[in-house]
Amino acid sequence: MGCCGGKRQQLSDREMGVRQEEPPPAPVAVRTVTFEYTGRTGVTVLGPLTQTRYRFGGPGATVAADSRDAPFLHGVPNLRVKR
């Protein structure tokens, strides 16, 4: 019986329905903005874009927030950008 002539090997994975593993996406550098809490107690703020919970435990507490949430955090009373 003769060989298939290597035709099976010539079929691409796509034609065979085999999925190629894709490499994981490259990590994205996240920029942060540090906020300081100036209120009397504590506060937790939910970042609207990242859904991250930012917890400020008391007066003077600082938290590094994702820059995508920063515009929203600017509008929260008793939070200010720490320079």
Is residue 5 domain-resident? no
76: containing domain:
28-81
In a domain, 22, yes or no: no
Total of domains in the chain: 1
In this structure, what are the phi and psi dihedrals at residue 70, rounded to the nearest 5 degrees? -55, -45
How far apart, in whole angstroms, are the C-alpha atoms of residue 67 and residue 50?
A: 10
Q: Is residue 12 part of a domain?
A: no
**Residue 69 belongs to some domain of the structure:** yes
- Residue 26, C-beta contacts closer than 8 angstroms, at least 6 positions apart: none
Residues 21-51: tens digit of each pLDDT? 888 887 777 899 999 999 999 999 999 999 9
Grade residue 12 by pLDDT with cuts at 50, 70 and 90.
Answer: low
Residue 70 lies in a domain: yes
Q: Which amino acid is at 4?
A: C
Residue 13 lies in a domain: no
Domain contains 60 = yes
Residue 1 forms part of a structural domain = no
CB atoms within 10 A of CB 72: 14
